[in-house]
């Protein structure tokens, strides 16, 4: 495949045929404009977008458009997006349009190194092979002091989580600055490791302006951070790339997708998660939130999430696999639904579903691990809970949930 192909779902304006609407999209994103112009010359026609197909789908249409390789600047994510996800969303001939997927040619992926660790590297750090990882988020989102943040992290670690992360709104505020927070958390995680023998990752949120993110990451690393977190859509894809490609950053990158639903939620308009997932993998994220099969943010069909995860896990382009993260409203009663729908190459991220356990954070972490163990052993959670107190208490509080279709 020499060129780039993008697939869109759209509704044409009432006075426009599906074919003309697709052509308008291809022209807008390459060499065309709204009227004939005298500066159009024959030699630029090689850069025209080409409508490969138009097919009915649901109440609208799906079109696949080929963008010539030469129109792209290799290695420039901002420029890539300006072509296949640019002005088209406001185009007058389209009532709605959603970018579903992008097929990148090798030439446009080659400048990117991809994940430094990838899923297998993260598993090696934690010491797992097949089972899903269990993670938690420091709760409340904001407000805790460094010492109280560290206490929550310790409780989660001794309870059995593999990953602890900041929430997306906690960065470097005065009430919990990164140097103090990281030092406190890593000190308590060292205690937990000496007690349990387990290595737990802490993803500290270093999201900030792109030209300062490496400086902030270096501060976190100096204070012992063993994982970094970036809010990709608010910080930018190249913020991840800056960290992933810097030789001084020798820890995995956990990627949060806060703000994504402004683009992904509407099934008729915007950008689906899959193109974003492909870009995160290219620029070097090691873990990425992709959605839940049973959680609180349930607007994405499960088969679409599976496809998004496959974009992270496929053996392609020579890039390491990215660990998909399921997060948002999870608790032990939802573990079987998540793993049954999405598989075990997954990070199960529970905040309230751990800290809200009747017996506290450590018990909540144990309950999540017990629910994972039950699934891996092929035992229903309700049955497993009969001799696992923490899981029994969690199911008593929250019950069990099935995956969406």
* Catalytic, out of 20, 113, 139, 397: 139
* Catalytic, out of 256, 260, 289, 320: 256
Q: 394: helix, coil or strand? A: helix
> Distance from CA of residue 104 to its chain's centroid?
19
Checking phi first, is residue 276 left (phi over 0); if not, alpha (psi -120 to 50) or beta?
alpha
Active site includes 256? yes
The answer to whether the Cα torsion of 167, 173, 176, 181 is positive or negative is: positive
The answer to whether the Cα torsion of 379, 381, 385, 386 is positive or negative is: negative
Q: How far apart are CA 371 and CA 72, in angstroms?
A: 47
Q: How far is residue 34 from each of residues 27, 31, 53, 387, measured CA to CA in Å?
A: 9, 11, 22, 69
351 phi/psi in degrees, rounded to 5: -100, -80
Q: How far apart are CA 240 and CA 250, in angstroms?
A: 13
Active site includes 139? yes
Q: Two tokens at 226?
A: 């063993």
> Distance from CA of residue 46 to its chain's centroid?
36
Catalytic residue ranges: 139, 256
């Amino acid at each position: 495949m020499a060129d780039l192909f993008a697939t869109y779902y759209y509704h044409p304006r009432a006075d426009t045929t599906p074919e003309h609407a697709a052509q308008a999209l291809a022209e807008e994103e390459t060499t065309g404009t709204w009227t004939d112009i005298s500066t159009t010359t024959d030699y630029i026609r090689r850069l025209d977008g080409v409508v490969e197909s138009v097919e009915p789908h649901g109440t609208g249409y799906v079109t696949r458009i080929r963008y010539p390789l030469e129109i792209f600047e290799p290695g420039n994510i901002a420029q890539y997006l300006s072509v296949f996800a640019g002005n088209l969303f406001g185009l007058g001939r389209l009532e709605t349009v959603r970018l579903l997927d992008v097929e990148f040619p090798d030439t446009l992926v080659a400048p990117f190194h991809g994940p430094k660790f990838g899923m297998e590297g993260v598993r090696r750090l934690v010491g797992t092979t097949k089972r899903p990882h269990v993670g938690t988020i420091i709760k409340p989102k904001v407000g805790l002091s460094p010492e109280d943040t560290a206490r929550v992290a310790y409780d989660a670690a001794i309870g059995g989580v593999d990953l602890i992360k900041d929430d997306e709104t906690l960065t470097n505020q005065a009430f919990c600055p990164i140097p103090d927070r990281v030092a406190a958390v890593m000190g308590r995680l060292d205690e937990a490791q000496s007690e349990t023998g387990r290595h737990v990752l802490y993803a500290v949120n270093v999201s900030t302006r792109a030209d300062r993110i490496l400086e902030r990451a270096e501060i976190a690393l100096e204070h012992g951070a063993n994982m970094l977190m970036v809010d990709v859509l608010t910080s930018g894809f190249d913020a991840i790339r800056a960290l992933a490609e810097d030789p001084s950053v020798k820890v995995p990158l956990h990627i949060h997708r806060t703000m994504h639903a402004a683009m992904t939620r509407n099934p008729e308009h915007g950008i689906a998660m899959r193109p974003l997932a492909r870009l995160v993998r290219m620029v070097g994220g090691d873990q990425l939130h992709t959605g839940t099969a049973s959680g609180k943010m349930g607007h994405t069909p499960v088969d679409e999430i599976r496809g998004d995860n496959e974009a992270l896990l496929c053996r392609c382009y020579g890039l390491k696999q990215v660990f998909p993260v399921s997060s948002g409203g999870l608790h032990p009663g939802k573990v079987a639904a998540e793993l049954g729908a999405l598989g075990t190459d997954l990070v199960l991220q529970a905040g309230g579903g751990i800290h809200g356990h009747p017996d506290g954070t450590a018990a909540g972490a144990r309950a999540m691990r017990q629910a994972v163990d039950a699934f891996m052993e092929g035992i229903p959670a309700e049955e497993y809970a009969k001799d696992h107190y923490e899981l029994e208490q969690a199911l008593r509080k929250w019950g069990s949930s099935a995956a969406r279709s």
